[in-house]
Amino acid sequence: MEHNSSNFIRNIVIDDLETGKRDHVITRFPPEPNGYLHIGHAKSIILNFELADEFKGKTNLRFDDTNPLKEDIEYVNSIKEDVKWLGFEWDDLFFASDYFEEMYNRAVLLIQKGLAYVDDLSAEEIREYRGTLTAPGKESPYRSRTVEENMDLFTRMRDGEFKDGEKVLRAKIDMASPNINLRDPIIYRIAHATHHNTGDKWCIYPMYAFAHPLEDAIEGVTHSICTLEFEDQRPLYNWVVEQCEMESKPQQIEFGRLNMTNTVMSKRKLKQLVDEGFVDGWDDPRMPTISGLRRRGYTPEAIRTFCREIGVAKANSVVDSQMLDHFVREDLKLKAPRTMGILRPLKVIITNYPEGQVEWLDAEINPEVPEMGMRQIPFSREIYIEQDDFMENPPAKYFRLFPGNEVRLKHAYFIKCEEVVKDENGNVIELRCTYDPETKSGTGFTGRKVKGTIHWVEATQAVPAEFRLYEPLILDDQEKEEGQTFLDQVNPNSLQAVQGFIEPNMKEAKAQDKFQFFRHGYFNVDPKHTAADRLVFNLIVSLKSSFKL
């Protein structure tokens, strides 16, 4: 597998190996199973796995499942599937909840060292007492409890004697620290909730800031890579590792999280879109989730290239979502078979073509990859063309069909529009054309030239299909007004479904097969809504964009 291009984290690792600070590398990808993975997670996955891989190290998949209220086995399973689909194999699979006993023992150690105490203040009071950036915090009246008292209360917390919120365990560090994270952070709280892994065994749960460094240390992680918002927590991370007397000393390194235009990238917001019915599940093709991107038709190769190209920086950034589109186009260009599909059909009768006759024409599967061979497509007296490939009163420089004009049918013949058939409301419902047998594609006809080439599908054998056309889910080029949330930016036109026709050889297309439909773009066979008698295609990307790398 290709490796990370140079980045500052890689440089730290190289340095650690050269100076002998480390003799091996262990990284981890530590998702909380409280939602599906998104493209931001992909960046973290790729960074962690490729870094360890480059230095013959290991990467673990660890479920950071210390909050029973939001976590679920459904998420655990989807995360495993997504990591594998992205092309990575973890060395070990861990659940943070398997360390609850050990974490409890480390908390007891802190109590015994006089470095943790049980506090009876309410959550609100604790927040108040914590102070601000400019004002020091105030010590809790319970801060001076004795070790015996703290041991007794913490044991009773574990035994379920108290209600949620009644008591917490706090690290005793420094209420005057300029770093607010060090002002006696909460390290355990009470939650009478069933955990997806440990069931009802526990009613106290460690807080992230306490649990995460312990998890890393227990697993012998050397480089614990996380996103920038944890930078201020690094001193606490180190304090926990040190004071809990962990043998292994992981190093936390922060990098800028990935943000993209025209989407939201937080599990909380994505869950809201799902729960409130804005989308058809976590794997809706408009979602930036890995499962949504997969269903839309993005490839793991394109996602990996994208993540490598955006690089790893110490600052947060917003990446143009068209950049991801660019890489999927690049990836599919040589892989996807070409085909023709009509999204909005207009019937054309070729009046001088013999009735009842069908001929089979040869067409390249991918002209850029001749080895992919040829396909056969039927041609007859009745075909469908795209409604917008015809105009009754065209503007100047319109080279497609209009009365009296001649165009080339891709892979077939020149046809000329002779007559327009309308319904009683004046809508064009059919065209009558003639064809010129001399102009057959592949015969080298040079007698005359036409300026327009259009695509088509033979009508009697055409297979009906649904095409789902997508626009960005979130319209973020406009400032939100006061009181508005991201839900006010949801694009009402993000999905449009049209019923069209495809070539008969496409009947066999299977879920997740990808095609380039001539002039329309790349499409993926939807794995969820495609049935034996009903093919559904998701637009992955159109063919062209103004995006330049």
Applying CB under 5 A, the residues found at the interface with Mg ion are 32
Residue 43 interacting with ligand ATP (CB under 6 A): yes
Q: Which of 177, 179, 227, 380 binds ligand ATP (CB under 6 A)?
A: 227
**Known catalytic residue: 257?**
yes
DSSP code, position 439:
G
Q: In the complex, what is the shortest distance from the CB of residue 259 to ligand ATP, in angstroms, rounded to a whole number?
A: 6
Would you say 31 or 337 has its CB closer to ligand ATP? 31
Closer CB to ligand ATP, 226 or 462, in the complex: 226
Which residue's C-beta sits nearest to ligand ATP? 40
Figure out which of the listed residues 52, 169, 226, 274 binds ligand ATP, where binding follows CB under 6 A. Answer: 226
DSSP label at residue 401? B
The three-state secondary structure class of 157 is helix
For residues 75 and 515, which CB has a smaller minimum distance to Mg ion in the complex? Answer: 75
Near ligand ATP in 44-83, by CB under 6 A: 44, 64
To the nearest 10 degrees (0 to 180), the angle between helices 100-112 and 208-218 is: 110
Cβ proximity to ligand ATP: between 68 and 378 the closer is 68
User: Does 338 participate in catalysis according to the annotation?
Assistant: no
Burial, 510: exposed, middle or buried (Cβ in 10 Å; 0-12, 13-18, 19+)? exposed
d(CA 491, CA 513): 27
Q: Is 121 annotated as a binding residue?
A: no
Q: What is the CA radius of gyration of the chain?
A: 31
Output 221 or 459, the one with its CB closest to ligand ATP: 221
* Residue 30 interacting entry, from Mg ion, ligand ATP, none, C-beta within 5 to 8 Å by type: ligand ATP
Cα-Cα-Cα-Cα dihedral sign, residues 134, 182, 125, 32: positive
How far apart are the C-alpha atoms of 223 and 397, rounded to whole Å?
61
Query: Largest Cα–Cα distance of the chain, in whole Å?
Result: 101
- If contact means CB under 5 to 8 A according to the sort of partner, which of ligand ATP, Mg ion, none does residue 43 touch? ligand ATP
Integer Cα distance of 240 and 214 in angstroms:
7
Residue 117's SS3 state is: strand
Side by side, the strands of the sheet bearing 168-171 are: 116-119, 168-171, 186-190, 204-206
Q: Rule CB under 6 A: is residue 32 a binding residue for ligand ATP?
A: yes
- Quote the DSSP letter at residue 184: S
CB of 268: closest distance to Mg ion in angstroms? 7
Write the CB contacts of 164 (distance below 8 Å, at least 6 apart in sequence). 189, 190, 191, 192
188 is in an annotated binding site: no
Q: Work out whether 266 is an interface residue with ligand ATP (CB under 6 A).
A: yes
39 annotated ligand binder: yes
Q: Near ligand ATP by CB under 6 A, which window of 36-44, 211-219, 243-251, 361-369?
A: 36-44
Among 10, 22, 41, 62, binds ligand ATP (CB under 6 A): 41
Separation in Å, CA 239 to CA 73, 352, 377: 32, 86, 70
Chain residues 491-530 in contact with ligand ATP, contact rule CB under 6 A: none
Stretch that binds ligand ATP, among 35-43, 158-166, 360-368, 472-480 (CB under 6 A): 35-43
Q: Of 10, 106, 167, 257, which is the active-site residue?
A: 257
Q: How far is CA 83 from the centre of its chain?
A: 11
What is the H or E stretch that residue 296 is in? helix 290-296
**Residue written as token pair 């931001």:** 40
The sign of the CA dihedral 504, 505, 511, 516 is negative
Question: Which positions make up the binding site?
Answer: 32-34, 38-44, 64, 208, 227, 257-258, 265-267
Question: Which positions make up the binding site for ATP?
Answer: 32-34, 38-44, 227, 257-258, 265-267
Residues serving a catalytic function are: 32, 257, 267
Contact residues toward ligand ATP (CB under 6 A) are 30-32, 40-41, 43-44, 64, 226-227, 257-258, 265-267
